Structure 1
């Protein structure tokens, strides 16, 4: 049985597979930033009553399976997470306390797909993302 969630007047099951990249697809998600970014993203999702059910940070992109209540749109939540995470990264890693104009960690767009009966497939895909990328690189499909 699905793990339905409730709001005051509704029951819901809304999960999305979301992927986005850093600006210019630079490989910036590594080291200490990678260790801290996961907790930052989880906390920001909680602020919008969302749950990141599965996630993986690659050096040049982010994969997540996120549960979003129907009172929020996907674009609202992802825009909030990307914007606020940029500010937190600027504060924690670059010592900025204000004037964040011009700070861009993430590229403008993102990919989102609804997850229905294929939830287990999407979870497995996200978990094994790193090994699949290595396999494709060895085959010469990625550079």
Structure 2
């Protein structure tokens, strides 16, 4: 399971929520280089902070990025993704105009789709077995 340091504690909740997110550039255009990925990571760290979330891991290739985000239970993944993609699109298009050709990407930086997968903790089979083994009152 998750170690005690991984848990977020609030007044009425204890949580350990992690999401694996992946964003693909529009039409899978190869726009990223190392400097652009570093700047994208900085932008996404700031966007996460505004949601009281933490960007635990970030990496990418020339046409997509992967993130591991630790977030509080009050945060909606769709709103977090919207903020991450919106902020990064705005600043990357503004700061790397030579690399991001608006015409061939039809004014968009990211594809509208994304991957969001929950991760961390015990495998589902273990959790299912744990729930099945609860002593149900007769």
Query: TM-score scaled by structure 2?
Result: 0.73
1:75-129 CA deviation, whole Å, 9 max, x = no partner? 110111101111112332339xxxxxx741100011111112379xxxxxxxxxx
Match of 1:106 in 2: 110
CA contact (8 A) 1:21 1:62 kept: yes
In structure 2, runs of 5+ residues without a counterpart are 99-105, 124-138
In structure 1, runs of 5+ residues without a counterpart are 96-101, 120-143
Match of 1:13 in 2: 16
Q: Match for 1:116 among 120, 123, 127?
A: 120
Question: How far is the alpha carbon of 1:31 from its aligned partner?
Answer: 4.1
Q: RMSD of aligned C-alpha atoms?
A: 2.0
Structure whose residues are more often strand by fraction = 2
1:27-73 CA deviation, whole Å, 9 max, x = no partner? 11114322311111111111111111111121111111111211111
Q: Provide the rounded CA distance (Å) in 1 between the counterparts of 2:67 and 2:38.
A: 16
CA radius of gyration, larger in: 2
Highest relative contact order (Cα 8 Å, sep 6+), 1 or 2? 2
Q: Provide the rounded CA distance (Å) in 2 between the counterparts of 1:61 and 1:45.
A: 18
Structure whose residues are more often helix by fraction = 1
Aligned to 2:86, the other structure's residue is in SS state helix
Q: 1:49 to 1:30 in 2, by over 3 A?
A: same
Query: TM-score scaled by structure 1?
Result: 0.71
